[in-house]
Amino acid sequence: MLTHAQIWTAIDRLAARAGLSPSGLAKRAGLDPTTFNKSKRITPDGRARWPSTESVSKSLTATGATLDQFVALISDQARPPAAAVPLLGFAEAGAGGYFDDGGFPAGKGWDEIPFPAVDDERAYALEISGDSMHPAYRDGTIIIVSPAAPIRRGDRVVVKTRGGEVMAKELKRKTAKTLELKSLNPEHPDRTLTAEEVLWVARIVWASQ
């Protein structure tokens, strides 16, 4: 018998397979971004809320998945679920309380996204909003950030300043005194920060397409 948990697990797996969060999948399918949120899966009076046939159909179309593939995601014999990676909206990352001074996730307010294991157990995901990083990242893109990954020239990185600004750039050059960053959007200027301005730098190891 098909259960409420199985159908929602399949939707989460469908989103992860496309490199999206549940809200990212809903947006790509042309639905309200909150359609697949965990808070929407149970009604205020405690009853199970099921996704509509229409929302599932639109999600399959948006991801290019077939009905057979979706059924396989429902099955307990489908591929093992990926590990849960903390997820936060990029626009929220500059606010206080989400990271410690080392650039690792901290505090409350994080969601989760299933994702294949990465070498850094403290890796996390950020969801891009808006087109300020186009064409590298578009609205809804999920990036996986690894604070423990080594950083080299040419890597895409997330940088947080001591003033609370968070940015995604390409590393041009790093010295003991400065950090030179290339903008991902040609319409935005490159940045050079002093070492004193930088709180932490972390490498982007994956991005959804």
For residues 57 and 105, membership in a common domain is answered with no
Q: Would the pLDDT of 79 be above 90?
A: no
pLDDT of residue 126: 94
pLDDT of residue 85: 87
Q: Examine the fold and report which residue of 55, 74, 93 is the final residue of a domain before the chain moves on.
A: 74
Q: What are the backbone dihedrals phi and psi of residue 34, each rounded to the nearest 5 degrees, phi first?
A: -90, 0
Instruction: Give the count of beta carbons closer than 10 Å to the beta carbon of residue 108.
Output: 6
Domain of residue 101, residue span: 83-207
For residues 87 and 70, membership in a common domain is answered with no
For residues 96 and 66, membership in a common domain is answered with no
For residues 56 and 110, membership in a common domain is answered with no
Q: Would the pLDDT of 78 be above 50?
A: no
For residues 63 and 90, membership in a common domain is answered with no
pLDDT of residue 184: 94
Q: What is the pLDDT of residues 162-198, one digit of tens each?
A: 999 999 999 999 999 999 999 999 999 999 999 999 9
For residues 43 and 87, membership in a common domain is answered with no
Assigned token pair, 5: 């948990």
Query: Total structural domains in the chain?
Result: 2
For residues 99 and 43, membership in a common domain is answered with no
Average pLDDT over residues 156-166: 94
For residues 122 and 50, membership in a common domain is answered with no
**pLDDT band for position 73 (50/70/90)?**
confident
Widest distance between CA atoms in the chain:
62
Q: Examine the fold and report which residue of 35, 51, 74 is the final residue of a domain before the chain moves on.
A: 74
Q: What is the pLDDT of residues 14-67, one digit of tens each?
A: 888 787 888 889 999 999 999 999 888 998 888 899 999 999 999 999 988 888
pLDDT of residue 35: 93
**pLDDT band for position 116 (50/70/90)?**
low
Count of residues making up the chain: 209
For residues 185 and 90, membership in a common domain is answered with yes
For residues 112 and 29, membership in a common domain is answered with no
> Which stretches within the chain are classed as H helix?
4-17, 22-28, 53-63, 67-74
Alpha-carbon distance of 72 to 178, in angstroms, equals 51
pLDDT of residue 46: 85
Q: Examine the fold and report which residue of 52, 74, 96 is the final residue of a domain before the chain moves on.
A: 74
Helix, strand, coil % in the chain, rounded to nearest 5: 25, 30, 50
pLDDT of residue 76: 53
For residues 123 and 197, membership in a common domain is answered with yes
pLDDT of residue 5: 87
Residue with the larger pLDDT of the pair 92 and 108: 92
Q: Which residues does 124 contact at the CB level (< 8 Å), separation at least 6? A: 85, 86, 87, 88, 105, 110, 144, 145
Alpha-carbon distance of 174 to 152, in angstroms, equals 9
Instruction: Give the count of beta carbons closer than 10 Å to the beta carbon of residue 187.
Output: 8
Average pLDDT of the residues of the chain: 88
Q: Say which CATH number the domain at 65 has.
A: 1.10.260.40
For residues 69 and 88, membership in a common domain is answered with no
